[in-house]
Amino acid sequence: MDREERKTINQGQEDEMEIYGYNLSRWKLAIVSLGVICTGGFLLLLLYWMPEWRVKATCIRAAIKDCEVVLLRTTDEFKMWFCAKIRFLSLESHPFVNPKSIANKISNGHAVHLTENPAEDTSHEMNKYSQTQSQQIRYFTHHSVKYFWNDTIHNFDFLKGLDEGVSCTSIYEKHSAGLTKGMHAYRKLLYGINEIAVKVPSVFKLLIKEVLNPFYIFQLFSVILWSTDEYYYYALAIVIMSIVSIMSSLYSIRKQYIMLHDMVATHSTVRVSVCRVNEEIEEIFSTDLVPGDVMVIPLNGTVMPCDAVLINGTCIVNESMLTGESVPVTKTNLPNPSVDIKGMGEELYSPETHKRHTLFCGTTVIQTRFYTGELVKAIVVRTGFSTSKGQLVRSILYPKPTDFKLYRDAYLFLLCLVAVAGIGFIYTIVNSILNEVEVGEIIIESLDIITITVPPALPAAMTAGIVYAQRRLKNVGIFCISPQRINICGQLNLVCFDKTGTLTEDGLDLWGIQRVENTRFLLPEENVCNELLVKSQFVACMATCHSLTKIEGVLSGDPLDLKMFEAIGWILEEATEEETALHNRIMPTVVRPPKQLLPESTPVGNQEMELFELPAIYEIGIVRQFPFSSALQRMSVVARVLGDKKMDAYMKGAPEVIASLCKPETVPVEFEEVLEDYTKQGFRVIALAHRKLESKLTWHKVQNISRDTIENNMDFMGLIIMQNKLKQETPAVLEDLHKANIRTVMVTGDNMLTAVSVARDCGMILPQDKVIIAEALPPKDGKVAKINWHYADSLTQCSNSTAVGSEDIPIKLVHDSLEDLQITPYHFAMNGKSFSVILEHFQDLVPKLMLHGTVFARMAPDQKTQLVEALQNVDYFVGMCGDGANDCGALKRAHGGISLSELEASVASPFTSKTPSISCVPNLIREGRAALMTSFCVFKFMALYSIIQYFSVTLLYSILSNLGDFQFLFIDLAIILVVVFTMSLNPAWKELVAQRPPSGLISGALLFSVLSQIVICIGFQSLGFFWVKQQPWYPSSDACNTTRSLFQNSSHLENETELDTHNIQNYENTTVFFISSFQYLIVAIAFSKGKPFRQPCYKNYFFVVSVIILYVFILLIMLHPVASVDQVLQIMCVPYEWRITMLIIVLVNAFVSIMVESFFLDTVLWKIVFNRDKQGEYRFTTQPPQESVDRWGKCCLSWALGCRKKTPKAKYMYLAQELLIDPEWPPKPQTTTEAKALVKENGSCQVITIT
């Protein structure tokens, strides 16, 4: 392809795509039409399935600028193709603006950020672009997003709102006045209707889409073929099965669409008030909103119909739809840079950075607070599918395909079966021609062999195991919206856990406080609620520095704030709407202690009574609040004690951050030591600070002041120590996972040392393990990025423990020997900032750190997703378990995401646990392993069924015979379907084992299993087929004359022969039918494996009963023939001796099959050759001499069988082997790794030891 004609859209984003231009070609279209007619419509189907072929077959390449059709290809590993038709948006019919300049603006790409008046365009810009003449804008729609042609970048680009490239200054200066009606109409034309449209397709549309699936087309072809060959019964059975399958599929797909439609329809159409340029308020439908509209937030709250940035007033919002947390969040107006003292006017607005000022679509505004005469206003920044909710819905509507080795191998396996069918097809044609068979019969028989080899029931059989697993998961409280992922969960070998609410209890308990006086820490105090402290600045900070609010009389907000406020026992009062309306400013939230805590005043005299009563009313009003920011790791408030002239600033947050903003002389010398002591014990520590503000700061000035002005030069007041207890089941669950060789990783937003402590407490890091903290610093002042390696003092807590022997390494020593390093397991811990620096500047270290990284603290939501991707890049199958808050991206990205929140955020996660406990993780992995093994069993069984039947038919074709209609029906319905649907019912094994199931069908053990059974079955079928010809009574038609009268038997056979035009009734057919019928049941039992992933097959009662009934029935009709059954199944009567001979063949076949599968494969090959995929291989252990001999023996055997791989398949295992012999790894204590400044692109680095 011409590289000049290929462009990339959404560059650097998750949905990055290559784009090619095409124009329709009439001569190509004529040729394709002719081909469709000649192939009976099959070519049309093929082009329907393959968008790339469809476009290339009917179009010719063209410049993207002038094309009629675009062909899109994703740049990820799936390389999926899509096509879209170019459409035109005409501006001529809209007289409200100058169309010429609008077309110009779009072509210039100016529609991204539109000015107040679109007609204000300079003439040189108008002449610069070609689209000015056409007054039409070219665009196409893909996955609910419109892409417009942008002449500036000579490419298509999607229309952005005010969420990109708009400064905070311009939001106030250019956009806060609202839009004119003409401008609104113009933007609506471009942005379209503000709705997240999830159209529920009609049943007919879904039916057509489902029926045109390649699988159902193949079934239709099979049914037509069987009908022409008069196999009506089996054809009817397959039709019924297909109809049931289609109907159930349609029901589940439509149900999911309806659920999603109902979920997004909550804000579909509501009436909203918007401000226009001339201050008038206009009421419009929410569907008419466009970016730039100024929306008035109603007093009684609303469900947000768009993403909007708050510019006036305060809102209390429930964001459970997005975050999974039903805790109300306070949203304040965006800081206005024009009144900012520091003049940070150039800061760009971003919904992520300024999320505390942004109201997101789908979230519920519970309450608003406002100035008198001033409405609570927000500027619309994104609408429709561009909103945060729209993006979530798009990810559900258009999910990435599941890339799993099993499915890729399944297609490969089917191709192999097609190749086998091709051989049979050619053999049948050649054999039939040599035997001078009619042309019509040759065609039918040769095509019939294809339908036998590729079983039409295969997809239904494969789905059965997953459906049963889904039902079992539902019984243990795990709900699944992506059933295909159950199999993938069987491969998980690493699970990431969020800490708070997942590993530990959701709430925090106040353990105590440690105040500072005269720059020294006082002793810890448990009780904060006492008379001595009631008027202290420390308690005042606890009473005011929070985001609590009263909703319907109940105090609600962040759990940490709630615990802190409850501990002091104060009362919070908020102004009512009526009170607020009476004043010319926002009435502050007031907090006061209960009366019993205040010291009683004793008046000196009656005349002074009032003077003494006044101070007894001790109240603090919260004047301004700067909400908690995860980026800043702090929150602050401006408050005033009733009667005081000066205001106070209070701040709380991460101790390291608070200490850095305080006067150094107020921070105790032992601050770091005390903090480290608490965090090592697993406590969550919060620091408090305070300062008196200048008297010149009035109420109104405070409302517009920047937080940086307030948050500095503070006095350090002390620490609040919160306890976050481990959940009761956490240590036991993690121990089960470790025993099963499943790595566990902690990803948290909490403090590093607290996270390490919790990791030790729950057993994620063992007492004797080393913890290496990677502290990465970005490039600064011309210096390159570097990583400082610190070794955490892990032996201080366990010095008395017997687990730490004399041979263990003292952590702080620099002269550690390499041998000791390899014996002691080590773990890396790092925070989010370090993780980002490492990703950017030390790419070659990322895989090494992923191999042993266990604790990732202070991680932002997008960093959690990046971590999951980094782990997947070294071939880990990653599970993610979180409580839904901030984990949505990681839950979606992981191979198996489990949300412990039942809120709407769980829509993003494939699995949701009803019980908020991590005990669901082992359950999911066990069920995943059982489902995966069931899929393997079913696939192997269906492959054997195909080959056994294929070989039976091929043998019979050689004598111009075939299996009878009812023989096919008996095998396919009575045996195969019953066995397939019951063999999938084995429940999961009761505990997790260290061994993992193989990930694909193309693995040594599975191929050996299938091939060995094929050879055995073909061997015994051939034995019966050729041995029957050697019998003395063959080919006599009265072989049963010893048991029946000659006349009866002869006349019976003569009558049958008259009807037997297909030569069904013969001794070879009967022999092959009986032996193959038993073979299906033998391989079903051989493949129905139990331990270590599934319960034994004898506990699967339906399967056992079904197999016994089938065995008894086949034995009965073989040893004691029933005339009516023989007549229906077209079975020949054979001597009793031959029946016994067939029984012996079957018994020997059963013995050989089960011995090869259960003994030779499981005991010898699995344990010696194939079982090398152990996740725990990188653990450092010393081998006894005997084991070395065993390994040598294993290598020899695996080499002899041609299965040996020189290096492990998984990258992480290969890397573990390399690191074992790397003398520079792990890094020594107190060393620094620096990034090379010159060779930035490959991220190489060097180690420098700092002495």
Rounded Cα distance between 409 and 1003, Å, is 10
Annotated active-site residue in 307, 340, 498, 887: 498
Contact, 741 vs 1178, CB < 8 A? no
Q: In what order do the strands lie in the sheet with 743-747?
A: 478-480, 911-913, 896-899, 878-882, 494-497, 743-747, 853-857, 826-831, 770-777, 786-791, 1231-1235, 1245-1249
Helices then strands, each counted (H, E), the chain = 42, 42
Residues 6+ apart with CB under 8 A from 909: 481, 884, 888, 891, 892, 897, 898, 899
| Secondary structure (DSSP) of 460-529 | HHHHHHHHHHHHHHHHTTEEES-TTHHHHHTT--EEEE-IIIIIB-SS-EEEEEEEEETTEE---BS---
Q: What sign does the CA torsion over 834, 840, 845, 847 have?
A: positive
What's 714's DSSP letter? B
Rounded Cα distance between 911 and 921, Å, is 10
Rounded Cα distance between 448 and 230, Å, is 12
C-alpha dist (Å) from residue 885 to 425, 588, 888? 58, 30, 7
Tokens of 487: 């199999």
Rounded Cα distance between 753 and 164, Å, is 37
Rounded Cα distance between 449 and 1149, Å, is 25
CA angle 301, 307, 309 (to 5 degrees): 80
Going by C-alpha positions, the residue among 1222, 1227, 1223, 1219 that lies closest to residue 1249 is 1227
Q: Are strands 853-857 and 826-831 parallel, antiparallel or unpaired?
A: parallel
**Number of other residues whose CB lies within 10 A of the CB of residue 261:** 16
Contact, 723 vs 679, CB < 8 A? no
Q: What is the CA radius of gyration of the chain?
A: 37
- 3-state secondary structure labels for all residues of 20-76: EEEEECHHHHHHHHHHHHHCCCHHHHHHHHCHHHHHHHHEEECCHHHCCEEEEEECC
| Secondary structure (DSSP) of 1098-1118 | GG-HHHHHHHHHHHHHHHHHH
User: Element (H or E) spanning 555, and its range?
Assistant: strand 554-556
3-state class of 448 per DSSP?
Answer: helix
Tokens of 523: 């002793």
Tokens of 731: 């240590």
What's 132's DSSP letter? G
3-state class of 1179 per DSSP?
Answer: coil
Torsion angle of alpha carbons 1056, 1062, 1066, 1068, nearest 10°? -160
498 among known catalytic residues? yes
C-alpha dist (Å) from residue 1166 to 364, 1155, 1190? 57, 14, 14
Contact, 162 vs 295, CB < 8 A? no
CA angle 1133, 1138, 1139 (to 5 degrees): 70
Rounded Cα distance between 847 and 1212, Å, is 8
Residues with active-site annotation: 498
